[in-house]
Amino acid sequence: MKVLVIGAGGREHAIAWKLKQSPLVESVFIAPGNPGTALVGKNIPIPAEDIEGLKEFAKREGIGLTVVGPELPLTLGIVDAFEAAGLKVFGPSKAASELEGSKVFSKELMIKHGIPTAHHKKFDNADFARAYVETHTPPFVVKADGLAAGKGVVICRTGDEARKAIDLIMKDKAFGAAGKRIIIEEFLEGEEASFLAITDGKTVVPLAPAQDHKAVLDGDTGPNTGGMGAYSPAPVITPALASDVMDTVMVPTVKAMEVEGRPYKGVLYAGLMIKDGKAKVLEFNCRLGDPETQPILARLESDLADALMKAVEGRLSEVKLAWSKKTAICVVMTARGYPGDYLKGAEIKGLEEAAKLKDVVVFHAGTATKEGRVVTSGGRVLGVTALGEGVADAREKAYEAVGKISWEGAHYRKDIGNKALK
């Protein structure tokens, strides 16, 4: 069959790369794609938000399965539109995608259905939010309600920091309409991890656990980003904890969404905080994570196309996923200035040298071609991913590849995987 991957980032490059390996897949199209996805399929110049254009292309080309990468087209209702046109598409509906599209909806669902999470209060008035901060003890976590590309979360150690975060989101509109409402949460201590599963609305099949690194600088310092690197497996998620998360978070959430009249199909991604062997949900995402997808799919030994098609057809109970025992690490290389205003158009050198290394794949995220050269075009530029015999070996391979790649102002964290080594 022909498959269509929607999106233009490192996650979509990894999805297309893995789907291409399936004997079920005749050809892969990526819309709009990037220079990296062009190496594994055919890029189609249709934006991820152009739902009508994508639907017409899928019908015209006879696409057998569409896989939606980013959250925005999901929250805009791309799955509803494709299904109404008789097209098979992997992802949650518009109503189900509110689990990521609104933190207020997500928190209220968790509280109602007894899914473990932090205490919170919601606000649509900045003055009331500041008054709440005055009468409560920090630290706080201030979150924009809507989609903010992974950046709408501010950890505030003091009341003054919380007041500044409230103004940044609600008055300065740093994240646009996403900040019309906010939630202020209690600060949870522990270690973060990502737990992803695929579901057909009934059966829930976990993916290999991973750990992301959100902060831009080493030691988890500096502002939050969309993700500076990830590794899988994540030792913090023991087999016993994974089983507990399935029983207390993943399966109950899918059941809760059905009860709420929003049947959930697709990827369910729980961002967790783990302390003393117990997990609480920080947030849900309704798609594969970026950069977690890169190391997770690097370890997947099963046929991704088969698993996703069975999920679409309601036959996920037939799927059992197999995983490599090796460790995969992804180191994200970013443009100068990210996560703020960043430099674009810098020529990237060393991609061919890095690609020659064994057990290494360089996934493109924010790249473009200009006069035959690959240049930077986004904040997160590349996800350099390596597979190794354990954490130390995977780290060594990933950073060897990173060392061969350069451009003006390139930045990356040098401690990806250190937590796993400890």
Domain 327-421 architecture: Alpha-Beta Complex (3.90)
Do 291 and 383 form a contact (C-beta atoms < 8 A)? yes
Q: What is the spatial distance between Cα 402 and Cα 396, in angstroms, rounded to a whole number?
A: 10
Q: What is the spatial distance between Cα 137 and Cα 326, in angstroms, rounded to a whole number?
A: 44
Pairing of strands 360-364, 266-275: unpaired
Q: What is the average per-residue pLDDT within 139-166?
A: 90
Domain 2-91 architecture: 3-Layer(aba) Sandwich (3.40)
Using pLDDT thresholds of 50, 70 and 90, give the confidence band for residue 219: very high
Let me know if the fold of 125-180 is the same as that of 191-318.
Answer: no
Domain 125-180, CATH 1.10.606.20 — does that match? no
Do 415 and 43 form a contact (C-beta atoms < 8 A)? no
Return the CATH number of 191-318, one of 3.40.50.970, 3.30.470.20, 1.10.3720.10, 2.60.120.260: 3.30.470.20
pLDDT computed for residue 421 by the predictor: 86
Q: What is the spatial distance between Cα 19 and Cα 24, in angstroms, rounded to a whole number?
A: 9
pLDDT at 150 exceeding the cut of 80: no
74-84, pLDDT tens digit by residue? 999 999 999 99
pLDDT computed for residue 412 by the predictor: 98
pLDDT computed for residue 305 by the predictor: 98
256-315, pLDDT tens digit by residue? 999 999 999 999 999 999 999 999 999 999 999 999 999 999 999 999 999 999 999 999
Q: Which residues pair with 77 in a beta bridge?
A: none
Q: What is the mean pLDDT of the chain?
A: 96
For the question of whether the overall pTM of this predicted structure is more than 0.95, the answer is no
What is the residue extent of each domain of the chain? 2-91, 125-180, 191-318, 327-421
Q: Which of 10-14, 36-40, 150-154 has the lowest mean pLDDT?
A: 150-154
Q: What is the spatial distance between Cα 193 and Cα 359, in angstroms, rounded to a whole number?
A: 24
167-190, pLDDT tens digit by residue? 999 999 989 998 999 999 999 999
